[in-house]
Structure 1
Amino acid sequence: MGPNQAPLFPIRILKIAFWFTVFFYLFFLIFNTSFTIMGVDVGDFLKQYLGAFFGVYLSTTFKVFSVSFFLHLTLFSLVYLTYHFLKHSDVSWYILSTWVVMIECFALFHSMVSFPQIYGEFFFFRYPSFAPFLYFLTDHTSPTYFSFVLGILILGFLLVLLKQIYLHKNKESFFAILHVLVLGLVHTSGYYMVGILYFVILFWQGKHYQRIHIKTYGFFSLFFLFLYLIPSIWIRIEGVTRPEAKGKPPVFIIAADSLRHDKIGLKLEEKSITPNIDLFANDSFVFHDHHTTIPRTFPSWADLLTGQYAMSHKVRDMFPSPEEKQRIGSSAFSTIQQKLKEIGYRSYAIGSFAADIFPRANFGFDEVLAPNFNARIMTVQRTAESQLFLMPFLTGSWFSGGMYLEEMDGLSTWGDGSRIFDRFQSVLKREGNQAFSVTYFSSVIHFPYTPAYPYYKTFTDPNYYGKYKYLKFVDPTNSSTPNEEETKQIRGLFDSAVFAFDSEFGDIISELKEKGIYDESIIILTADHGEALYEDVHGQGHGEHLRGEAVTHVPLIIKFPKSTNHKKPDHQFFGITSSVDIYPTLMDYFEISTKQEFPGRSLLPVLGKSNWAEDRMVYAETGIWFSDAGDHFFQKQRIPYPNILSLHQVVPEEDYQIMITDPMYRETIAFSKHRSLQNSDYKLIYIPTRQGVLFEFYDRKKDPFNTKNLYPNHPMAIKMKDMLYQMVVKWEDASLAGEYLIPSSLSDINEN
């Protein structure tokens, strides 16, 4: 065959792939685009920002379309290549398209069984009549079935390619090998624009492939095989080149969003839903009455990592202003990671969608392997979610992938812990025996409670067929309580998510043991907050109120290195503790001096004891109310302010982050917060309203759901009220107006 032979990939393949992409992109855009997020209408958001945000929307559309175009070019080229080797180069466009649709359908079915939650809105909000098909897939199939079918197709293609190589050993077959290697590398790395550029060159100059020497094909094939190995080689080189840090134990802060204390060791069907955590607890100190300071993710982590209250550092909700978030990591609010860096530690943050708080402030991590959160990313997610054929490849649910759009990493319905565990493994390989810390934050338990296959089936009712079969849709405006069957299903999803996290945690511990660093590590297991699950009148969610034990009472289990000889006799501590205790505990352990006073206490002095020597009080406050609607009890006990869609702004100069920047609103939010003070026996709740300040006082042990208000008749009520006021005045520099606590504003602090 001479150098002027027709191209291996004729231009018609490019045309077919392009029009195929255009057709399905527009089809899904028209019939599968939602203006809701988990059932909440965001039409007002779009109206408010579409004008200023139009350029971002266009770039998003281009990005998603480009990924789809590259994937279709890949599939059409491989299908055509198979027909070409079978001597059917004249195959029609509709036969090629049928094969591509079939491949994408099988990949979609695989993804739907693996992560049915991703497709929840499609089946339960837009086209509920199709839901029985999803039920059939998840009830009667498994991802293995579709992996098998797709594997057969891949094997068939490889056999055809190998036969071509065996029979001919010509430039055409070596060119095909190189083509497959290039596409595989682009697919695993996600560099789709490089892939499109490759196809442009291929269709433009592909007819000259016979002019390239066969040894050149061999060289490039080896080169691309080497590129596949570069990431693992580089990780190992990093591990070898860094000096070993003796006497500096690795520090692991492992947390699960929304993990409740009472779920640890809970037995369902005569089995614990946390078997791996139970085993870990046997090696550790368990703090049974541990509480978060604020049941919202961003401020809770800010409190834990700085050791100071949100009322001090001013990050008090999920949408801090630039001035507020810049205080995190400052000299006055240094973090655990910054302090560890002073003694030679490198720090990593690893997490799924709720870990998007870590890139948004200066927490002191050397590397953040977690998604970000802003309006641009939300736009990419909503656009990509509409493309059903694209989602299996964007989530990597089948045959690798998952790297095309980093924005998909923050998808709240993608409750797969394996992808962040892979990052954890890479950090361990990179660091080896160096001094390092990892903050690992799993989101699988956070609503909408989305454990992947097979976990979503673990504790749910197989005979339940409703909108909560795979996830709990969130609508903060809806205060109605689900019926008994629905409530049971939602709790089953939550317990299944806890079980999924426990499995994830077990993998982490196994990896640490395999690497030989478990015994000498400091491992802290905790949570940023808990979750109400329709106990009494408490509703579902977190951050809206402080009643009951569900939202603030979280696990705290700490394992110290064996060599430090922090032995029992008693590793069960029942005194009350707070998330701000973790900072001083680590500072105490590493003997890092801190010049300022902290509200928390080191836990080292009480190791081996069962309680405090004196009465300990811990503080908590509510988060921001996202909605101003609904008939919830806390909506009747609050100072009203607009809902989040009216409060927030998209700030382009802050990478399109969603922030509440208006000082008046920020001060109103702070002023309106419910606050609590509690010890091991009692809880006092401060509730400011327009009509005055309300107080609730509960016996935690006799009345854990907080149903019987004992204020002001109990003898401890007034004492704890005075202590709460003293604490807030001290740590917030607040003032009093009657019984109202008036928070200090950020402007006042900056002026001082």
Structure 2
Amino acid sequence: MMTLMGPIQAPLFPIRVFKISLFYSVFFYLFFLIFNTSFTIMGVDVGDFLKQYLGAFFGVYLSTTLKVFSVSLFLNSSLFSMVYLVFYFLKKPETKWYLLALIVFGIECLALCQSMVKFPQIYGEFFFFRYPSFAPFLYFLTDFISPIVPSVCLLVLLFVLLGTLLRQVYFHKNKESFFVILHVLLLVFFHIHGLYVIGILYLALILWQGKKYQNIHIKTYGILILFILFLYLLPNLWILISSFRYSGTEGKPPIFILSADSLRYDKIGTQINGKSITPNIDLFKEDSFVFHDHHTTIPRTFPSWADTLTGKYAMEHKVRDMFPSPDEKQRIGSASFPTLQQILKKLNYDHFAIGSFAADIFPRANFGFDEVYAPNFNARIMTVQRTAETQILLLPFLVGSWFSGGMYLKELDGLSTWGDGERLLGRFRSLVNERKQSPYSITYFSSVIHFPYTPAYPYYKQFTNPNYYGKYKYLKFVDPTDANLPNSEEILQIRSLFDSAVFAFDQEFGEMVGFLKEKGIYDDAIIILTADHGEALYEDVHGQGHGEHLRGESVTHVPLMIKFPKFYQNQTKEKDFYGITSSIDLVPTLLDYFEIPLQKEYPGKSLLAVLGEKDWKENRFVYAETGIWFSDVGNHFFQKQRIPYPNILTLHQVVPEEDYQIMITDPIYRETIAFSKHRSIQNSDFKLIYIPTREGVKFELYDRKKDPLNKNNLYPNHPMASKMKETLYQTVMRWESASLAGEYLIPSSLSDINEN
């Protein structure tokens, strides 16, 4: 006799299916943990480094393992649940366990193939360091398979599931069918928002309640389904409702600092096969003031941004490398070194930072942002990443390449191999939709151009050689212990990857500018395009990377374009400025624009004074210094010139009191690093480099225009040599309070500084 429950009375998620998913999850988790775990990062063995903190960090490691396994268990249980529902409604509830497991495995393999085509860089270590014999399979996928193909296969499976469920609802409008619709909607909702803990609790509740779902009134199911659908719409509704709280204020335009790590000035407008690799930036130039000779003060991300946003030199605020000590990083945002964001807060501006892995510097110091949508960086997060990366069947879900998702482990935002800008653009659009033309700023920082140069599909194919099959096919592996120079074919491939990454960022930039135009914000906004530093790409003897030396133009020369509101922009016709400028000019320029009196002396200059001009009236000099040397091996010229200190793995310390941040805390090492820095002073025509060595201080002087690669040292015989040397010493002694010992500059230490 048929009842209101339909012809089948079995639970919709029986304990048998959960046991299958549990055994499946445990098996594959342990399998990949055993056979895919590595203490190598980009070819560098960090085993000894991990041992330094593994004892004190063991509890964190266990919680990390539990966290990653919990995500795997929820995802696998969800897939088994939905696959089982198809067989359940086909009246085959006793389907063999291996058939269910085979189907789920097939779904995950399709998702993996789709993810490998879209983000092959994420799987680079697996295919090139751990199991290189499998690399031809990755080549085959990326050469011949579009990510659309596995996506279509997955969509077909999804339609089979939905079709089966809709058929059940159509023929059996009962509690059972409505419960299944609610069940699937909940699982998908948990997946989209990464709510794996709530998802596991929900599945446990189903197992505990058994058939009790049949006791809920059918109208209640209808209300619950409508409520869940409302939850799907809630984020967009919230943004719409929230936007009514904000309105534009005259004289306080929104500010957008749109930047990319490692973007070189000379790449703007570069032609390949007759087409520019930056078409969107080229269009933006027409609306902007362009500063053609703009330089960063230090070619490392953390100190560069600290300089840019405080308007002060790293040698003064003391954040001079990527791993500042607690005392050093606390100076950023202090009364002595307020950031641009903190100063504009007095004008009721709200501030937001958006970025991928290189933007991990923003949560690590008080830059003055109200919200930071960027990853953090510490040993705990690095452990989560390394654990998650072993689970290659799980990775497609963690990076959101399979039907949304991507929010399970926020630590994955910090993967250096995940160069997808779409997730950042989504956050950008949401903020703009909410804030519109109210007083706010967004600092957008893309990492796609930073090594290992990881643009997503199809951009990694944009300029690279399709017939190249080596370890640099998808990304530039970085191994500071390997001093060997790539061959000419590999160098060409690495440069092509870099150009492809520049093109990928240009597409991100075009999306943002286009969205601002669509929303009617573009004309009245301040939009700034810049970068934290450039990149050496094997020009002459310069090697690859940044922060190691100051030779050539590639590592400090970066773009700067500023589009002011339309009424202000149109006051002058001349938009190209060729005089030398510095990243420390941004703060005084914006303070000048908002007519905020300077409370302290800044080393930079307001650029408003030269808008409409082509050059400075005076002979201006700008300063730069190197970062920390990551490696103590190699045959590069800068390794031969430098004062040696241990490599970065030896210098690091994990500081539990600072949320397990990785820092260099030893004051002796910190003073050695500061003392050993190469420093430069340059104007529009010449560059002088100060190089302390164990044999004494060496100087190099180069003609920037005639000798941009800095091959011919003019020191000491050129007439500018003594003038520039004197200017360099005066600059350092003034802003660092450094002292002299012979020709050596002795930096002031943090303990010598009186904040009062």
| Residue of structure 1 equivalent to 2:717 | 713
- Partner Cα distance (2:88, 2:614) in 1: 75
Query: Which residue does 2:523 correspond to in 1?
Result: 519
Deviation of 1:643 after TM superposition, in Å, equals 0.9
Which one of the candidate residues 677, 682, 685 is aligned to 1:678? 682
CA distance in 1, matches of 2:210, 2:153: 32
Mapped to 2, the partners of 1:156 and 1:390 lie a distance apart of 23
TM-score, normalised to structure 2's length?
0.99
Partner of 1:352: 356
1:650 equivalenced with 2:660 (yes/no): no
Q: For 1:388 and 1:331, how far apart are their aligned partners in 2?
A: 47
Q: Are 1:299 and 2:310 matched, yes or no?
A: no
The question of 1:544 aligning with 2:537 is answered no
- Indicate the residue corresponding to 1:507 in structure 2: 511
- Other structure's SS at 1:554 match: coil
Name the SS of the counterpart of 2:464 in structure 1: coil
Q: Distance in 2 between matches of 1:642 and 1:207?
A: 65
- Secondary structure, aligned partner of 1:176: helix
For 1:327 and 1:466, how far apart are their aligned partners in 2?
45
Q: C-alpha displacement at 1:552, in angstroms?
A: 0.2
Structure 1: where are the runs of 5+ without partners?
A: none
**Structure 1 partner of 2:148:** 144
Report if aligned partners of 1:697, 1:717 keep a CA contact under 8 Å in 2.
Answer: yes
The answer to whether residue 473 in structure 2 is matched with residue 434 in structure 1 is no
Q: Quote the residue 2:68 is aligned against.
A: 64
Give the distance between the partners of 1:567 and 1:379, measured in 2 at CA: 54
User: Could you tell me how far 1:750 is from its partner in structure 2?
Assistant: 4.0
Question: Does the 8 Å contact 2:4/2:174 carry over to 1?
Answer: no
Q: Whole-Å Cα distance in 1 between the matches of residues 675 and 132 of structure 2?
A: 43
Corresponding residue for 2:37? 33
* Aligned counterpart for 1:389 among listed residues 388, 393, 408: 393
Give 3-state SS (helix, strand or coil) of 2:620's partner: coil
What's the offset of the Cα at 1:233? 1.4
The secondary structure found in structure 1 opposite 2:375 is: coil
Q: Within the alignment, does 1:153 sit opposite 2:157 as a pair? A: yes
1:206: how far off?
A: 2.8
Contact 1:560/1:566 (8 A) holds in 2: no
Letter paired with 1:107 = A
Q: 1:35 is aligned with what amino acid?
A: F
**1:438 is aligned with what amino acid?**
I
Confirm whether residue 604 of structure 1 aligns to residue 608 of structure 2. Answer: yes
**Residue 231 (structure 1) shift:** 1.3
- Quick one: which amino acid aligns to residue 156 of structure 2? I
Shift of 1:584: 0.4
The CA deviation string for residues 382-425 of structure 1, in whole angstroms up to 9 with x for no partner, is 00000000000000012000000000001000000000010000
Q: How many residues align?
A: 752
Equivalent position of 1:468 in the other structure: 472
Task: State yes or no: 1:282 paired with 2:286.
Answer: yes
1:560 alignment partner in structure 2: 564
Shift of 1:567: 3.4
2:317 alignment counterpart: 313
**What CA distance in whole angstroms lies between the structure 2 residues aligned with 1:468 and 1:294?**
28
**Equivalent residue for 1:532?**
536
Q: Using the TM superposition, give the Cα deviation of residue 102 of structure 1 relative to its aligned residue in structure 2, in angstroms.
A: 0.3
Secondary structure at 1:331 match in 2? coil
Corresponding residue to 1:82 among 86, 96, 105: 86
Provide, for residues 448-484 of structure 1, a one-character-per-residue CA deviation record: whole Å limited to 9, x for no partner.
Answer: 0000000000000000000000000001122221111
Shift of 1:247: 2.6
* Of 251, 257, 260, the match for 1:247: 251
What is the deviation of 1:569?
A: 2.8
Deviations 1:59-95 (A, max 9, x none): 0000000000000000000000000011110101000
Aligned partner of 2:490 in structure 1 is 486
Matched, 1:615 2:625: no
Q: Deviations over 1:100-154 (max 9, x none)?
A: 0000000000000000000000000011110000000000011111110000000
1:666-705 to 2 correspondences below 5 Å: 666-705=670-709
Deviation at 1:31, TM superposition (A): 1.0
The partner residue of 2:200 within 196, 200, 214 is 196
Deviation at 1:633, TM superposition (A): 1.1
> Does the alignment pair 1:205 with 2:232?
no
Who is 1:324 aligned against?
Answer: 328
Name the CA distance, whole Å, in 1 between partners of 2:628 and 2:15: 56
SS at match of 1:408: helix
The yes-or-no answer on 1:729 pairing with 2:737 is: no
In structure 2, what residue type is equivalent to 1:114? Answer: K
String of CA shifts for 1:566-625, please: whole Å, max 9, x gaps: 533321111100000011000000011122110000000111111011111000000001
Please tell me the residue identity of whatever aligns with 2:258.
Answer: I
**Residues of 1 paired with 2:576 and 2:4: CA distance?**
81
1:244 to partner: Cα distance:
3.4
Query: Could you say which residue in structure 2 is the equivalent of 1:454?
Result: 458
In the alignment, structure 2 segments of 5+ residues that lack a partner are: none
- Asked if structure 2 preserves the Cα contact closer than 8 Å seen for 1:479 and 1:539, the reply is no
Task: Compute the displacement of 1:319 (Å).
Answer: 0.3
Candidates 723, 746, 750, aligned match of 1:742 = 746
Amino acid at match of 2:197: M
The structure-2 alpha-carbon separation of the partners of 1:434 and 1:751, relative to structure 1 and needing over 3 Å to count, comes to closer
Tell whether 2:14 aligns with 1:7: no
Q: Is 1:186 aligned to 2:163, yes or no?
A: no
CA–CA separation in structure 2 for the residues paired with 1:38 and 1:57: 21
Q: Distance in 2 between matches of 1:720 and 1:63?
A: 57
State the Cα distance separating 1:218 from its structure 2 match: 0.7
Contact 2:258-2:529 within 8 A present in 1 as well: yes
SS at match of 1:298: helix
Q: What is the deviation of 1:246?
A: 2.6
Instruction: Please state whether the residue corresponding to 2:490 is helix, strand or coil.
Output: helix
CA positional deviation for 1:751: 7.4
Q: State yes or no: 1:636 paired with 2:640.
A: yes
Query: C-alpha distance in 2, partners of 1:102/1:6?
Result: 26
- Partner deviation per Cα, 1:689-741 (whole Å, 9 max, x = no partner): 11111111111111111111111011101110011000000000000000000
| CA RMSD after TM alignment | 1.1
Question: What CA deviation, in whole Å up to 9, does each residue of 1:433-461 have, x standing for no partner?
Answer: 21111100000000000000000000000
| DSSP-derived class of the 1:553 partner | coil
Report deviation, 1:501: 0.3
Which residue is equivalent to 1:222? 226
> Per the alignment, in what secondary structure is the counterpart of residue 289 of structure 1?
strand
Deviation of 1:57 after TM superposition, in Å, equals 0.6
In the TM superposition, what whole-angstrom CA distance separates every residue of 1:262-281 from its partner, at most 9, and x where no partner exists? 00000001000000000000
Selected match of 1:399 from 394, 400, 403: 403
- Give the letter for the 2:696 counterpart: G
Q: Quick check: 1:569 aligned with 2:576? A: no
Whether the 8 Å contact between 1:660 and 1:666 is mirrored in structure 2 is: yes
| SS at 1:348 equivalent | strand
For residues 205 and 248 of structure 2, the distance between their equivalents in structure 1, rounded to whole angstroms, comes to 47
Q: Is the 8 A contact 1:258 1:445 kept in 2?
A: yes
Letter in 2 for 1:195: G
Q: Report Cα offsets for 1:641-684 as digits up to 9, x if no partner.
A: 11111111111111110011111111111111000000001000
Q: What CA distance in whole angstroms lies between the structure 2 residues aligned with 1:163 and 1:352?
A: 43
AA aligned opposite 1:676: S
- 8 A contact 2:247–2:436 mirrored in 1: no
Aligned-residue offset at 1:257: 0.2
Between the aligned partners of 2:169 and 2:687, the Cα distance in structure 1 is 76
Instruction: Give the 3-state SS of the residue equivalent to 1:365 in structure 2.
Output: coil
Q: Which amino acid aligns with 1:444?
A: V
Query: Partner of 1:235 in structure 2?
Result: 239
Q: Is the 8 A contact 1:675 1:685 kept in 2?
A: yes
Contact 2:563 2:569 in 1 (8 A): no
Q: In the TM superposition, what whole-angstrom CA distance separates every residue of 1:487-521 from its partner, at most 9, and x where no partner exists?
A: 00000000000000000000000000001010011
The whole-number CA distance in structure 1 between the counterparts of 2:245 and 2:695 is 65
Query: C-alpha displacement at 1:8, in angstroms?
Result: 1.7
Aligned residue identity for 2:445: F
Distance (Å, rounded) in 2 between the aligned partners of 1:432 and 1:229: 20
Structure 1 residue 243: deviation in Å? Answer: 4.1
State the partner residue of 1:267: 271
**SS of aligned partner of 1:519:** helix
